[in-house]
Amino acid sequence: MVTLTIDGKKVTVRKLSTVLDAARKLDIPIPTLCHHSELSPYGGCRLCIVEIKGMARPITACTTPVSDGMEVITTSPYIEKLRKTTLELLLSDHPNDCMVCERAGDCTLQELAYFYGIRENRFEGERRFYTRKDNNPFIEREMEKCILCGQCVRICDEIQGVGAIDFAHRGFKTRICPPYEKDLNCEFCGQCVAVCPTGALTGKMWAHKGRQKDIKEIETVCPYCGCGCSLTLHVRRNEVIRVSSREDTINEGWLCAKGRFGYGFINHPDRLTKPLIRIVPKNSQKSSARGGRSQKTLNSQLSTLNSQLFREVSWDEALVYVAKRLREIKDRYGPDSIGGLSSAKCTNEENYLFQKFMRAVIGTNNVDHCVRYCHSSTLAGLATVFGSGAMTNSIPEIGNHDVIFVIGSNTTETHPIIGLRIKKAVRGGAELIVADPRRIDLVRFAGIWLQHRPGTDVALLKSMMHVIVKEDLTDKKFIEEWTEGFESFKEGLNEYTPDMGEKITGVPKEYIIRAAILYGNAVRPGIYYTMGITQHTHGTENVFAIAKLALMTGNIGRESTGVNPLRGQNNVQGASDMGCFPDFYPGYQKVNIPNIKQKFEKAWGVRLSDKIGLTAPEMAEAALKGNLKAMYIMGENPVLSDPDINRTIEALKRLDFLAVQDIFMTETAELADVVLPAACFAEKDGTFTNTERRVQRVRKAVEPPGEAKEDSWIIIELANRLGYKMKHAFIEEVFQEAGKVWPAIEGITYGRIAKMGLQWPCPTLDHPGTPYLFKGGFPRGKAVFSTTRYRPSEELPDNEYPFLLSTGRQLFQYHTGSMTRKIDAINKISPEAYIEIHPDDAKQFGINDGKIIKVSSRRGSINIKALISDRPAKGMVFIPFHFKEAAANVLTGTALDPIAKIPELKVCAVKIEVVVLTVS
Amino acid sequence: MEEALEGILTNYRKNEGNIITILQDIENTFGYIPEEAVNWFSKKLDIPASRFYSIATFYAQFHLKPRGKNIITVCRGTACHVKGSERLINTLRKKFNLPDEEDTTYNREFTVEKVACVGTCSMAPVAIINKKVCGKMTADKLTREIKKLEGKKTGDNNEG
Ligand code: SF4
Ligand code: SF4
Ligand code: SF4
Ligand code: FES
Ligand code: FES
């Protein structure tokens, strides 16, 4: 520690601090323009100059390290004069455009000019002019306003790891630009926009929407992925006009393109505004959700399509009708003839109410949600081994891993902010191992890349475990104390030699050995995985294998040490926690254990069913067979997200009654008998739980469009009409009720999470929340090593279908696109579906970049544009699943994991043909 | 192109080079820094293309556009300026029909460049024609020199 005096006040700070840090600690203001606390010091603007006793000239506080006994003066007439001169020079070639500048009122330069009273300039100089090159849809670059502070350059390089821009030229010509002064072509995270102290960089969609006057700022949580970033919505006249993020939150102020620029769907003209009842029979031609219409025409025709298929009705009519149909079907075929799909996009409160509605009002356990398609194998796997299926560590702990093992997760695209944390950890010295069949972006940061064949994860992991046993890197004490069955499990590893591993996975054995030793020796390693692991017929086994790797090395239950499934949607964790499962009540409590059932019967005041309900794919199956008669779907779009589209559509059409509640007319809603317009995340209060179990507050910022209503209101109204009294004066009561039946969240109140969320378990009001799980043991006692064997995927390439197709997400789009594809800016960057194919394969088939090719599997075929890329390995192709015109899930199989019932979306066999386009 | 780039890469690996040496090799091979070359190296070495561009634009030795077979450099130092170097430049640009922002003729025969004082102020105004320093330049003299070079075009030419 070092002690120094600043303006006569003593302060003690850490050794490598700068004078600026010390002054900030004392809350002494020093003007800065190029400094950012998260970035390397730059010392370019010279506004932060201070006088230090014993030094001849003033020096910059942001770059000067403190030393003992230093005496600093931060302000004096002399210094202020210098600062003013510096500012005048900066302004000498500045277009004083404040009147119409997007940043006015939020511009550091303007603010400083105001404080220093600069009205006229002594240095009126030559102005710089730039030709604007900005066709990109997100970021406006008015480089005449750039003061060359370089914050954008540093953030893009140091935090985002992209390096899309840099200084170019020198002297008066110096400028910040992308290579060859082209337009930006980058991740469009907008981090540079967030740090720019002037109006040089702004959001395109901010233009002319309002600046600082009459703006309400509302703190809420991002509606896209499971990172759960904090968003500040800037609202003017009931419209969200800008999104920013505070620095003191889990995401440290960083966002991705979706969070920062993807808010256009809120005010989109296509939002549903009135309840609709079907007027055309479902099997008529008009109602088909597919059929080659492009997104554009579909959008523009929607209103007419609506009026052809549906008529607008009052809420009363709609609710009475839904209640009547549900009651009829229940009376006639029993409660188990009705199924419900809840939504990972909705709040905890709404998910709680939804499952309560299905269980207490309808009387069935047929309730599920999209977790089935992404992480049910995690639950089945991790919950079996550890007794809980959530991320065991928290996001801030990522920074302290010494080894990070990412398997089957394209983290920078699916969980961009966790991706940033991983990159930051790597910069801080952590070793990164990436196992992925594709050359994903993280590979650039990895020390070791294991490019295993899709579907061979178990073999890869076992082979690593083999090496760990052989090298004697197991944690014997941990195994002894916390696990059982290791000895026989160890036997089973014998056959998985690195040679065998290489044979099955295609990864050179030296790599397997190196990765195993690195992980085995690590002190604080973390494993991260997503759908690359779970979406297989052996998804659960993959998860088991990961769990065992952590167990045998004792790498779980400590800070920055654990196993971390990254949850896809914003509230998929919460929807799971709230019991939107056919076999669990809220808090993963089994529906078929009598005393648990009794507890819920008492809490809800009705008799409940102890029959485990149907999973989402089983519901489709049952509907096809005619056993399921009605469905109530809240905020999900199974037509696009489920495997084998044609089958899903067929199943939904077979239903006697389908009610869909959503914010847009989705492909699923088009098949509904009743469509109920819902409020989106910005239009309601509640909570989301992010992937690290953090319960965060969602706040209402704007009124819903037209007559759209909060999902909770709709569920409560329906329940009441079906004769079950649900009454909640305010939404927090629902959360409190959930806390009563699931003690792990009982200690969380809206008041406590007003600023920062809390991580469950948090059982009491004074409990600080739990950043990492399993400190001192597993809730279900010892973890069991059971033996699993590598089993190839259900469908592997053969002569007829020689390619391995894998599906997944990409950065700019989200899930089935019902939100992101409504946003013009995002569509511009990511307009259409494509299939990634290796250059060698492309050559062999004579496929050029951009050519339309036909991809077929045993289930169907689609036409899609080829994107030649070295990301997939040879023999492998990849299609993102967001695009309905070329829906990847036409091709995928419906083979299910026997334990978790998760479909195999990651691996199926396809063939490829060049299409000869005939012009008619 | 790929082959030449591979060669530069090998050289870089062998001699533990840096971005500047790569750029120098590229400049020497192609006579300028083609965008594709930068992108190729950026990908191979995982160094952002913006970094290459930054350095390439910082040093005057690198050129971003292909240059002509003949290079005429006119001095714009104070002495030469006073003696009318600007007029020489204008004459040349007009003669070659150069649009703004372009320094090289369409057929890549000539490039007109400007430079600050070359240190032979006594001979101002100075032009350097294919490395040959010519003093006391006039528009007429320049035109004659260019004629000569144009004449060469069809004859033997191995000027770099
Ligand atoms: S960047 Fe700041 S100082 Fe410049 S015109 Fe905009 S508001 Fe005014
Ligand atoms: S938007 Fe993000 S990736 Fe693009 S230049 Fe800015 S910081 Fe870099
Ligand atoms: S664009 Fe903004 S952040 Fe970047 S150097 Fe210029 S003023 Fe600074
Ligand atoms: S803030 Fe210190 S020099 Fe810019
Ligand atoms: S000014 Fe031209 S040579 Fe010196």
Asked whether residue A812 carries a pLDDT value surpassing 80, the answer given is no
Q: Which residue of B has its CA nearest to A179?
A: B50
Q: Distance between CA A422 and CA A431 in Å, rounded?
A: 10
Asked whether residue A109 carries a pLDDT value surpassing 90, the answer given is yes
Q: Do B57 and A162 touch (CB under 8 A)?
A: no
Residues B147 and B104 in one domain: yes
B131 in a structural domain: yes
How far are the Cα atoms of A29, A51, A59, A82 from residue A79, in angstroms, in the given order?
Answer: 14, 8, 10, 5
Q: Answer yes or no: is the C-beta of A818 below 6 A from any ligand 2 atom.
A: no
pLDDT for A847 equals 82
Q: Distance between CA A917 and CA B32 in Å, rounded?
A: 42
A 10 A CB-CB count for A145 gives 21
CA of A171 to the centre of ligand 5 (A): 21
**Average pLDDT score over residue span A496-525:** 90
Residues B74 and B151 in one domain: yes
B58 neighbourhood in chain A, CB within 8 Å: 168-170
| ipTM of model | 0.80
The C-alpha angle A477, A479, A482, rounded to 5 degrees, equals 100
Residue whose CA is closest, atom 7 of ligand 3? A146
Eight-state DSSP code of residue A382: I
Residue that wins the pLDDT comparison between B1 and A537: B1
pLDDT for A919 equals 46
pLDDT band at A302 (very low <50, low <70, confident <90, very high): very low
Asked whether residue A150 carries a pLDDT value surpassing 80, the answer given is yes
Asked whether residue A217 carries a pLDDT value surpassing 90, the answer given is yes
Determine contact: B36 vs chain A, CB below 8 A.
no
How far are the Cα atoms of A108, A130, A242, A485, A731 from residue A102, in angstroms, in the given order?
Answer: 13, 18, 11, 64, 37
Query: What is the pTM for the complete model shown?
Result: 0.82
Token readout for A476 is: 């014997």
Residues B135 and B93 in one domain: yes
The C-alpha angle A374, A378, A379, rounded to 5 degrees, equals 105
CATH of A125-261, one of 3.30.70.270, 3.30.1180.20, 3.30.1490.20, 3.30.70.20: 3.30.70.20
Q: Distance between CA A376 and CA A565 in Å, rounded?
A: 11
pLDDT for A348 equals 93
Q: Do B49 and A179 touch (CB under 8 A)?
A: yes
**Average pLDDT score over residue span A819-830:** 66
Q: Distance between CA A668 and CA A651 in Å, rounded?
A: 11
Taken in order A717, A718, A722, A724, the sign of the CA dihedral is: negative
Q: Does domain A276-284+313-374+571-759 match CATH 3.90.550.10? A: no
B20 in a structural domain: yes
Asked whether residue A94 carries a pLDDT value surpassing 70, the answer given is yes
The interface residues of chain B toward chain A in range 13-32, judged by CB-CB distance below 8 A, are none
Choose from B35, B50, B62, B63 for mutation: most chain A CBs within 10 A: B50
DSSP per residue, A168-223: ES-GGG-EEESGGG----S----HHHHH-SSTTEEEGGGTTS--STT-EEEEEE-S
Asked whether residue A404 carries a pLDDT value surpassing 90, the answer given is yes
* Strands A803-808, A876-880: pairing kind: parallel
A201 contacts A152 by C-beta, under 8 angstroms: yes
CA of A36 to the centre of ligand 4 (A): 9
Q: Answer yes or no: is the C-beta of A24 below 6 A from any ligand 4 atom.
A: no
How far are the Cα atoms of A228, A570, A814, A815, A851 from residue A370, in angstroms, in the given order?
Answer: 18, 12, 14, 11, 33
B63 in a structural domain: no
Least confident of A40-54, A671-685, A787-801, B30-44: A787-801
Expressed as residue numbers, the domain containing B6 is 2-58
Eight-state DSSP code of residue A722: T
Q: Which residue of A has its CA nearest to B44?
A: A444
pLDDT for A153 equals 95
A47 contacts A85 by C-beta, under 8 angstroms: no
Q: Cα–chain-centroid distance for residue A609?
A: 35
pLDDT band at A130 (very low <50, low <70, confident <90, very high): confident
Q: What is the number of structural domains in chain B? A: 2
Alpha-carbon distance B96 to nearest alpha carbon in chain A (angstroms): 25
Angle between helix axes A498-505 and A457-470 (nearest 10 degrees) is 170
CA of A545 to the centre of ligand 3 (A): 48
Taken in order A724, A725, A731, A734, the sign of the CA dihedral is: negative
pLDDT per position as a tens digit, A340-383: 999 988 999 999 999 999 999 999 999 988 766 655 556 666 66
Alpha helices by DSSP H, listed for A748-898, are 824-829, 839-845
B53 neighbourhood in chain A, CB within 8 Å: 166, 168, 177, 179-180
User: Would you kindly state where each structural domain of chain A is located, as residue ranges?
Assistant: 2-75, 125-261, 276-284+313-374+571-759, 376-565, 803-914
Within B10-109, strands assigned E span 70-75
Asked whether residue A818 carries a pLDDT value surpassing 70, the answer given is no
Q: Answer yes or no: is the C-beta of B78 below 6 A from any ligand 5 atom.
A: yes
Residue that wins the pLDDT comparison between A222 and A374: A222
Angle between helix axes A457-470 and A486-493 (nearest 10 degrees) is 110
B38 in a structural domain: yes
pLDDT for A376 equals 57
B102 in a structural domain: yes
Alpha helices by DSSP H, listed for A588-744, are 594-604, 616-625, 638-641, 645-654, 711-721, 732-741
CA of A163 to the centre of ligand 2 (A): 8
Residues B97 and B142 in one domain: yes
Within A502-649, strands assigned E span 525-529, 562-565, 584-585, 589-590, 630-634
Assigned architecture for domain A376-565: 3-Layer(aba) Sandwich (3.40)
The domain that contains B108 carries what CATH number?
3.40.30.10
Please give the helix or strand (H or E) that residue B112 lies within, else none.
strand B110-115
Pick the closest to residue A692 from A408, A483, A421 (CA basis).
A421
Q: Answer yes or no: is the C-beta of A211 below 6 A from any ligand 1 atom.
A: no
Phi-psi region of A222 (alpha: psi -120 to 50; beta: other; left: phi over 0): beta
Q: Distance between CA A764 and CA A748 in Å, rounded?
A: 8
pLDDT band at A283 (very low <50, low <70, confident <90, very high): low
pLDDT band at A296 (very low <50, low <70, confident <90, very high): very low
Please give the helix or strand (H or E) that residue A498 lies within, else none.
helix A498-505
Asked whether residue A904 carries a pLDDT value surpassing 80, the answer given is no
pLDDT per position as a tens digit, A469-494: 888 888 888 888 888 888 888 888 88
Choose from B57, B58, B59, B63 for mutation: most chain A CBs within 10 A: B57
Q: Cα–chain-centroid distance for residue A570?
A: 6
Pick the closest to residue A791 from A541, A550, A549, A546 (CA basis).
A541
Residues B77 and B50 in one domain: no
Q: Do A178 and B64 touch (CB under 8 A)?
A: no
Eight-state DSSP code of residue A678: B
Q: Which residue of B has its CA nearest to A441?
A: B46
Q: Cα–chain-centroid distance for residue A174?
A: 38
Token readout for A350 is: 């709404």
pLDDT for A789 equals 59
Q: Answer yes or no: is the C-beta of A152 below 6 A from any ligand 3 atom.
A: yes
Provide φ and ψ at A20, rounded to 5°: -65, -45
Q: Distance between CA A372 and CA A361 in Å, rounded?
A: 23
Please give the helix or strand (H or E) that residue A910 lies within, else none.
strand A908-914
pLDDT for A911 equals 82
Asked whether residue A778 carries a pLDDT value surpassing 80, the answer given is no
Residues B108 and B130 in one domain: yes
Atom in ligand 5 nearest the alpha carbon of residue B120:
3
* Strands A852-856, A783-784: pairing kind: unpaired
Least confident of A90-99, A462-471, A604-613, A766-775: A766-775
B39 neighbourhood in chain A, CB within 8 Å: 179
Q: Distance between CA A564 and CA A515 in Å, rounded?
A: 18
Q: What SS3 class is residue A364?
A: coil
Asked whether residue A201 carries a pLDDT value surpassing 70, the answer given is yes
Least confident of A178-187, A343-352, A816-825, B19-28: A816-825
Q: Which residue of B has its CA nearest to A167?
A: B54
Asked whether residue A817 carries a pLDDT value surpassing 60, the answer given is no
Alpha helices by DSSP H, listed for A663-731, are 711-721
Q: Distance between CA A783 and CA A386 in Å, rounded?
A: 6
Alpha-carbon distance A847 to nearest alpha carbon in chain B (angstroms): 21
CATH of the domain spanning A803-914: 2.40.40.20
Q: Which residue of B has its CA nearest to A156?
A: B48
A450 contacts A463 by C-beta, under 8 angstroms: no
Assigned architecture for domain A2-75: Roll (3.10)
Q: Do A166 and B48 touch (CB under 8 A)?
A: yes
Q: Answer yes or no: is the C-beta of B120 below 6 A from any ligand 5 atom.
A: yes
Pick the closest to residue A505 from A160, A792, A286, A810 (CA basis).
A792
Asked whether residue A826 carries a pLDDT value surpassing 70, the answer given is no
**Average pLDDT score over residue span A121-147:** 80
Give the count of alpha carbons within 13 A of A610, CB side only.
9
Q: Do A170 and B58 touch (CB under 8 A)?
A: yes
Residues B18 and B89 in one domain: no
Q: What SS3 class is residue A139?
A: strand
Q: Do B58 and A169 touch (CB under 8 A)?
A: yes
Least confident of A32-36, B31-35, B136-140: B136-140
B57 neighbourhood in chain A, CB within 8 Å: 168-170
Residues B86 and B110 in one domain: yes
Q: Do A178 and B50 touch (CB under 8 A)?
A: yes
**Average pLDDT score over residue span A142-159:** 93
Residue indicated by tokens 């999209």: A370
Least confident of A459-473, A730-744, A835-849: A835-849
pLDDT per position as a tens digit, A642-694: 777 888 888 999 999 999 999 999 888 989 999 999 999 999 999 999 988 99
Q: Cα–chain-centroid distance for residue A485?
A: 36
Looking at the DSSP assignment, which residues form a beta bridge with residue A278? Answer: A310
Alpha helices by DSSP H, listed for A723-864, are 732-741, 824-829, 839-845
A 10 A CB-CB count for B155 gives 6
Alpha-carbon distance A182 to nearest alpha carbon in chain B (angstroms): 11
pLDDT for B98 equals 83
Atom in ligand 2 nearest the alpha carbon of residue A191:
7
Asked whether residue A811 carries a pLDDT value surpassing 70, the answer given is no
**Average pLDDT score over residue span A856-869:** 81
pLDDT per position as a tens digit, A317-329: 999 999 999 999 9
**Average pLDDT score over residue span B3-32:** 85
- Of B82, B83, B89, B118, the residue with max ligand 5 atoms within 8 A of its CB, to mutate for a pocket test, comes to B118
Please give the helix or strand (H or E) that residue A326 lies within, else none.
helix A315-333
Quote the mean pLDDT of chain A.
84
Residues B32 and B98 in one domain: no
CA of A104 to the centre of ligand 1 (A): 6
Asked whether residue A289 carries a pLDDT value surpassing 60, the answer given is no
Give the count of alpha carbons within 13 A of B98, CB side only.
21
pLDDT band at B103 (very low <50, low <70, confident <90, very high): confident
pLDDT per position as a tens digit, A692-714: 899 999 999 999 999 999 999 99
Q: Which residue of A has its CA nearest to B59?
A: A169
CA of B51 to the centre of ligand 3 (A): 17
**Average pLDDT score over residue span A769-790:** 73
How far are the Cα atoms of A354, A630, A650, B47 from residue A622, in angstroms, in the given order?
Answer: 21, 11, 12, 54
pLDDT for A886 equals 54
How far are the Cα atoms of A61, A386, A394, A482, A563 from residue A557, in angstroms, in the given order?
Answer: 42, 10, 12, 11, 9
B64 in a structural domain: no
pLDDT for A76 equals 92
pLDDT for A108 equals 94
Residues B18 and B77 in one domain: no
The interface residues of chain B toward chain A in range 40-59, judged by CB-CB distance below 8 A, are 42, 46-54, 57-58
Q: Distance between CA B116 and CA B121 in Å, rounded?
A: 11
Alpha-carbon distance B66 to nearest alpha carbon in chain A (angstroms): 14
Q: Distance between CA A814 and CA A264 in Å, rounded?
A: 14
- Percent with pLDDT over 90 in chain A: 42
pLDDT for B160 equals 37
pLDDT per position as a tens digit, B46-100: 899 999 999 999 988 898 888 888 888 888 888 888 888 888 888 888 888 888 7
- Say how many Å lie between the first and final Cα of chain B, rounded: 19
Pick the closest to residue A912 from A836, A837, A853, A865 (CA basis).
A853
Pick the closest to residue A367 from A335, A394, A330, A340 (CA basis).
A340
